[in-house]
Amino acid sequence: MPERRPFDVLNSSLNNTVIIGMKGGYEFRGVMVAYDVHMNIVLEKAEQLMNGEVKRGVGTVLLRGDSVTFISPS
Amino acid sequence: MPERRPFDVLNSSLNNTVIIGMKGGYEFRGVMVAYDVHMNIVLEKAEQLMNGEVKRGVGTVLLRGDSVTFISPS
Amino acid sequence: MPERRPFDVLNSSLNNTVIIGMKGGYEFRGVMVAYDVHMNIVLEKAEQLMNGEVKRGVGTVLLRGDSVTFISPS
Amino acid sequence: MPERRPFDVLNSSLNNTVIIGMKGGYEFRGVMVAYDVHMNIVLEKAEQLMNGEVKRGVGTVLLRGDSVTFISPS
Amino acid sequence: MPERRPFDVLNSSLNNTVIIGMKGGYEFRGVMVAYDVHMNIVLEKAEQLMNGEVKRGVGTVLLRGDSVTFISPS
Amino acid sequence: MPERRPFDVLNSSLNNTVIIGMKGGYEFRGVMVAYDVHMNIVLEKAEQLMNGEVKRGVGTVLLRGDSVTFISPS
Amino acid sequence: MPERRPFDVLNSSLNNTVIIGMKGGYEFRGVMVAYDVHMNIVLEKAEQLMNGEVKRGVGTVLLRGDSVTFISPS
């Protein structure tokens, strides 16, 4: 196992803006304020994106880890 | 792990209106009156939404956590 | 955790008519006479619905919890 | 929990004709001669149905519980 | 629980020709020479079928139980 | 249980060319140099196939067992 | 079990460029800097690919193992 662990990315992204890919192909962008070991994630000031364009603002949103495909600090 | 936890969003949304994203792309909007650790959720005064438009009123509805993708206080 | 639990909806709906959403988008409507912790559910006098219209009567039907997405007392 | 349990339907349907809904939308109809706790089911004199019409006879068939969505005594 | 068990079908079909339904809708037909509790199955002299027609011969094939939907002695 | 076990196919195919079916319908063909109990598999000199035609060479590739549907020695 | 194990590919690819196949059919290419037993993977200098063409640069990205289908050192 490498010294760096995947969850380090989550920890270092706390309170920063991230893009979250979701099963089904859409994405959320917002400030990550909480996560847990299941990759359940809470974003604030969040927007839902479809094909790279903002579909709507959603404010605070809790994303269920089971539906998350990737997480990228922006 | 951060101090704030994803389930805090559920707890602080009790008795408030939330939007729930479901696998398959549709949504429910209603007053959240119960949830559990599986993210099974009960809404009252609920409406089913398709593409952002109200499809029908459903009154009380129990959403199975396995089908929930996101939860957003509205 | 809230005092009200999601399974309360199941218990209070026993012997009443409910609508059950299924993965794949269709629904069943009938009198709920049994359920268990996996959300396996038995309906009597049941009808299968597609796009809100009755597709056929099925009498008694056992729905596998894994395929259930929502349950709404009607 | 209610006194009646979902598996009672399976037990009372042994050696009777049932219709089984499968993920993917097709169905099997036949005489149920065996089942287990995973809802693995064996039908005899079975037919595979598509859109309510008989597609072909399959004789004996073992259905994997993971692919079963509903079971209805006919 | 009934006296006959679903896995009896597998045991009595050893070294006989079976048709295996797979998630995604295609099928394999061949002589079943091995299986395990996960319904992982080995066929010999196997053919892959699409819409009931032979697509190609594959000789020996190991089918992952997770992708198996039904098994029918032919 | 039969004397022959499904994993025997994997063991006897080590260092031989195999075709691997993947969820989503595409395939890989290459020399199997490693596998584990989850059916995670490593191929070398591998090619990705779509509809039976080579789409591209990929050299070494680790296939996640969860996405594997079948394995056939070629 | 063979002497070589699937995770050896991950270990030997650390700090090298890899292509990651994802459920849904798209891919990521980047330098793998971390992974864990669930095949959660972190890439740096990453690009998202669709049909073999670069769709966009994403910098650092954490891929959830559940959505990974294959990993290939490039």
Would the ipTM clear 0.85, i.e. be above it? yes
Per-residue pLDDT tens listing for chain G (74 residues):
567 899 999 999 999 999 999 999 999 999 999 999 999 999 999 999 998 899 999 999 999 999 999 999 98
The larger pLDDT score, comparing residue B41 to residue D52, is at B41
Say which residue the tokens 């693995």 belong to.
D40
Q: Residue D74: what pLDDT?
A: 85
CATH number, domain of B69, equals: 2.30.30.100
Count of domains observed in chain D: 1
Question: Whole-number mean pLDDT of chain B?
Answer: 95
Nearest CB among B6, B8, B73 relative to A41 is that of: B6
pLDDT of B2 higher than 80: no
Do E23 and F69 count as a contact with CB atoms less than 8 A apart?
yes
Instruction: Please state the φ and ψ torsions of residue F2, each to the nearest 5 degrees.
Output: -75, 160
Subunit partners of chain D (3 or more CB pairs within 8 A): C, E
**What does the pLDDT look like over C12-69, one tens digit per residue?**
999 999 999 999 999 999 999 999 999 999 999 999 999 889 999 999 999 999 999 9
Q: Is residue A54, in this structure, part of any structural domain at all?
A: yes
Q: How far apart are CA B10 and CA B41, in angstroms?
A: 9
Mutation target vs C (from B64, B67, B68, B69; most C CBs, 10 A cutoff): B64
Q: How far apart are CA F72 and CA E43, in angstroms?
A: 10
Q: Is residue D1, in this structure, part of any structural domain at all?
A: no
**What does the pLDDT look like over F23-46, one tens digit per residue?**
999 999 999 999 999 999 999 999
| Beta strand segments in D1-74, E | 17-22, 27-35, 41-50, 53-63, 68-73
Q: Is residue G30, in this structure, part of any structural domain at all?
A: yes
Q: Is residue G1, in this structure, part of any structural domain at all?
A: no
Q: How far apart are CA C3 and CA G26, in angstroms?
A: 44
Number of H helices, E strands in chain B: 1, 5
Collect all residues with Cβ–Cβ distance below 8 Å to D59 and sequence separation of at least 6: D44, D45, D46, E72, E73, E74
Strand partners, C17: C31
Instruction: Give the DSSP letter string of chain F.
Output: --SS-HHHHHHHHTTSEEEEEETTS-EEEEEEEEE-TT--EEEEEEEEEETTEEEEEEEEEEEPGGGEEEEEE-
Q: What is the 3-state secondary structure (H, E, C) of chain E?
A: CCCCCHHHHHHHCCCCEEEEEECCCCEEEEEEEEECCCCCEEEEEEEEEECCEEEEEEEEEEECHHHEEEEEEC
Do A24 and B52 count as a contact with CB atoms less than 8 A apart?
no
Do E23 and F25 count as a contact with CB atoms less than 8 A apart?
no
Q: Is residue F39, in this structure, part of any structural domain at all?
A: yes
- Alpha-carbon Rg for chain F, nearest whole angstrom, is 12
Q: Is residue F1, in this structure, part of any structural domain at all?
A: no
Instruction: Please state the φ and ψ torsions of residue G8, each to the nearest 5 degrees.
Output: -60, -35
For residue E6, give how far its alpha carbon lies from the nearest alpha carbon of chain D (Å): 6
Tell me which residue range forms the domain holding E14: 6-73
Q: Is residue A1, in this structure, part of any structural domain at all?
A: no
The vertex-G57 CA angle with G51 and G60, nearest 5°, equals 120
Q: Is residue B1, in this structure, part of any structural domain at all?
A: no
**Mean pLDDT along residues D40-60:** 96
C-alpha separations of D25 from C38, C74, D68, E24 in Å? 22, 25, 10, 11
Instruction: Report yes or no: B15 and B32 within 8 Å, Cβ to Cβ.
Output: yes
